[in-house]
Amino acid sequence: MINSLETSTERIAVLERALAERTSQLQAVTRELEGFSYSISHDLRSPLRHILGYLQIFAEDHGPAMDPRARECMEKVHQGAQKLSEMIEELLRLSRLGRQQMSVQPILLDTLVHEVVHGLENDASGRQIEWHIDALPTVQGDPPMIRQLFTNLVANAIKFTRPRSQAVISIGTEQADGAPAFFVRDNGVGFDQKYADKLFTIFQRLHPREDFEGRGAGLASAQRIVARHGGRMWAESEVDKGATFYFTLNAAPGGGV
C-alpha cells in the first residue's frame, strides 16, 4: 500500500514537472513570436511612412494634371498603403499587450463597466439599446487592460446589434465549470458557431467589411488580455440570434500564453 502511494506521488510529481516545463516552453515561444511580430511591424513602419509621404507629394504636385484613370490607380495605391499601415499598428498594439508589465490591483468592476458604457455613448448615438448590467464584483487585475477588455467586447456588441431596431446588451456573471465567468451578451447578428475558433485570431472576420467596419483585431486583443490574467475566453452564438462572449480572470501577472 505504501509503495503504491509512493509510486502515485512520484508519477504526479513527474507530471507536474512535465506540465511546468511545457508551460515554460510555450511561454518562451509566445514571447519569441511576440518579439518577432513587434520587430517586423516596427521595421515596416518607416518605409511605409515614406511611401505614404511620397504619394502625398506626388498627388499635390501632379494630381490636377493626371487623367482620371491614373488618379484612380494612385488612390487605390494610397488606400492599400493606408490599410497596411493600420494593420501594422494593430499588430504593434497586440504585441505590446503581451510584453507590457502588469500592475495587478483590486478593480471595482461595477464602476469600471458603467464608465466603459458611458464612454461608448457616441457609438450608440441615435440607437435604441436596452442595457442589463448585473451587480459585478471586485476583481484582481491590471486596470487599463481590464478596461480595454470590456471596451472591446461592449463596442463589439454595440456594432453587431446595429441592424436591430431594439438592441439588448447584457453584462454579468455566470457559473462555468464551477467557477465564475463574466459575459457580454447581445441580440445582434451572431455568427456560425463552427467558426468560433477564428474569432480570436487577428484580422479574421466572420462578417463582410461592407456590413461592419473594423480590422478584426478587437477580439484578439481581448483574448490576449484574458490570457495575461491567467483566464480563458470563449464565445457562443447562432446566426441571427446574437452572441455571448465569456471569460474568466485569475489575475496571474504575465500568465497565459
User: Quick one: 117 and 38 in the same domain?
Assistant: no
**Cβ proximity of 139 and 109 under 8 Å:** yes
**Which helix (DSSP H) or strand (DSSP E) does residue 48 occupy?**
helix 2-62
Q: Is 180 in the same domain as 74? A: no
CA dist 218 → 29, 151, 180, 192 (Å): 23, 9, 23, 19
Bridge partners (DSSP) listed for residue 204: none
- Per mean pLDDT, which range of 152-161, 194-203, 238-247 is the poorest? 194-203
CA distance to 52, 60, 77, 149, per residue, from 66 (Å): 18, 11, 15, 47
Per the listing, cell 490570457 goes with 227
Other beta carbons less than 10 A from residue 191's beta carbon: 21
Domain boundary (68, 99, 130) is at: 99
Report whether pLDDT(83) > 50: yes
Amino acid at 216: G
Contacts of 54 (CB under 8 A, 6+ apart): none
Residue 171 near residue 140 (C-beta atoms within 8 A): no
Predicted structure pTM score: 0.67
| Integer Cα distance of 5 and 134 in angstroms | 47
**What pLDDT score does 145 carry?**
93
Half-sphere exposure at residue 43, Cβ-oriented, CA atoms within 13 angstroms: 6
Q: Are residues 159 and 213 in the same domain?
A: yes
The 10s digit of each residue's pLDDT in 134-191 is 999 999 999 999 999 999 999 999 999 999 999 999 999 998 877 789 999 999 988 8
Instruction: Map residue 129 onto helix, strand or coil.
Output: strand
Residue 255's pLDDT is: 41
Residue 2 in domain:
no
**Same domain (yes/no): 130, 221:** yes
Asked whether residue 252 is assigned to any structural domain, the reply reads no
Residue 206 pLDDT greater than 70, yes or no: no
Domain end call among 57, 74, 99? 99
Q: How confident is the model at residue 56 (pLDDT cuts 50, 70, 90)?
A: confident
Residues contacting residue 127 through CB under 8 Å, at least 6 positions apart: 158, 162, 167
Kindly give the pairing relationship between strand 138-141 and strand 179-186. unpaired
Among 70, 99, 128, which residue terminates a domain?
A: 99
For residue 4, is it within any domain?
no
Say yes or no: 168 and 242 in one domain. Answer: yes
Residue at 157 is within a domain: yes
- Using DSSP's 3-state secondary structure scheme, residue 178 falls into coil
- All three cell numbers of 41, joined, read 511591424
With residue 56 as reference, give the H or E element that holds it. helix 2-62
CATH code of residue 173: 3.30.565.10
Structural domain including 24 reads 9-99
Report the domain count for the chain: 2
Q: Do 149 and 222 fall into the same domain?
A: yes
pLDDT at residue 213, as a whole number:
63
List the single range of 42-51, 79-88, 200-209, 232-241 with lowest mean pLDDT.
Answer: 200-209
